Amino acid sequence: MIYPLLLTLHLFAALVFIGTVFFEVLFLESIRKQLPVKVMVLLEQGISRRARQLMPWVLLLLFGAGVGMVWLRYWPLLLTPLQSSFGLLLGLKILLACSVLGHFLWAMWLFRSGRMNARYVHIIHTSVFLHMLAIVLLAKAMFYVAW
């Protein structure tokens, strides 16, 4: 009974995280050209402040539920990932997820140290966006691709 709960929590946390990244990359960038600079700065500051409050909890839930699912069901597949397409794709998905976590920690460090700038924001958002696309594709491929 705990696995379905972990899966549901994992999916909801993924929706929040991926939705936030998609919004920032696909919407916010195009809005930038339509709003005065002062308004855009205030908008970005507000979104950034809220994201820094919420995202640590979302990521804790996302990774905590993911670790729980691996522990309950997928650990044997990860011990020998090259023996099944599912294990290999899951391993790649976990590797990308760890990279996303690294991006997040890097961004938090940049904010706390006062080094975050528009260039870093763009690089991190674009990279995390591409990671998220790959993770979603891998998550689906794990159940539909076999060799």
Do residues 89 and 134 lie in contact, with contact meaning Cβ atoms separated by under 8 Å?
Answer: no
Q: What is the pTM of this model?
A: 0.89
**Alpha-carbon gap, residue 24 to 20, rounded angstroms:** 6
What letter represents residue 84's amino acid?
Answer: S
Print pLDDT tens along the chain (147 aa). Answer: 899 999 999 999 999 999 999 998 999 888 988 999 899 889 988 988 898 899 999 999 999 999 999 999 999 999 999 999 999 999 999 999 999 999 999 998 998 999 998 899 889 999 999 999 999 999 999 999 998
Host domain of residue 132: 2-144
How many domains is the chain partitioned into structurally? Answer: 1
Kindly report the number of other CB atoms within 10 A of residue 88's CB atom: 19
